[in-house]
Structure 1
């Protein structure tokens, strides 16, 4: 049976891989993952976001080999995902044209924050108890 630490490792690889797939997600479901009209590469801003998330994704995958040594990166991912989701939710509510994000990237980022946050709390609780 897998423990919380192993689940964290799996979650880091899974979310890291998904972060690396932001561009293909935009091709499959543009209204849930893009904020502009046209193909993903039509927006310089979107391509910047793709680059940042792909980089973060690769580092999350790498962090899976030793989550305890990469706590800062994981907590950054948790908090930045919450902030990003909150900003996008407010923007989507202000512009009905972007309501697809309330079913796409907003809940996806909240899921990342929730899962990693719960798993990290368990790992940090274990480290405090054994440390």
Structure 2
């Protein structure tokens, strides 16, 4: 399997995973407004990751944003879990976010050199 096909599979899986967060978003809309606001960003990002499957090179910034924001989210969640601010069970989510970020960085399309003028 070539690198581009692997990237498209990862984009599809992560995009569908993020899109699936629509259900908890709808459930927690009234009970947890901050959580539902965060989930709305992930659902939207899921749509854009699915659109990026068509042309990953043209969607490099969306792929990079997803990877680096996953690392940032994992860092915050991990710190909160280790300081007992949130449940230690959230460390599973930290691991998932790190895997997502690492996979997207590893498979991200290389930037083509600019053509001479």
Aligned residue-pair number? 111
Gaps of 5+ in 2: none
Higher relative contact order (CA 8 A, sep 6+): 1
- CA shift for structure 1 position 49: 1.1
Gaps of 5+ in 1: 27-38
Give the helix-richer structure, 1 or 2: 1
Equivalent residue in structure 2 for 1:114, among 102, 108, 111: 102
Contact 2:19 2:46 in 1 (8 A): yes
**Displaced runs of 4 or more, over 3 A:** 23-26
Contact 1:78 1:114 in 2 (8 A): yes
Q: Distance between the aligned counterparts of 1:118 and 1:97, measured in 2?
A: 30
Q: Distance between the aligned counterparts of 1:88 and 1:96, measured in 2?
A: 9
SS at match of 1:124: coil
1:14 is aligned to 13
Q: 1:72 to 1:100 in 2, by over 3 A?
A: same
* TM-score relative to the length of structure 2: 0.86
Equivalent residue in structure 1 for 2:70, among 81, 92, 113: 81
Contact 1:88 1:101 in 2 (8 A): yes
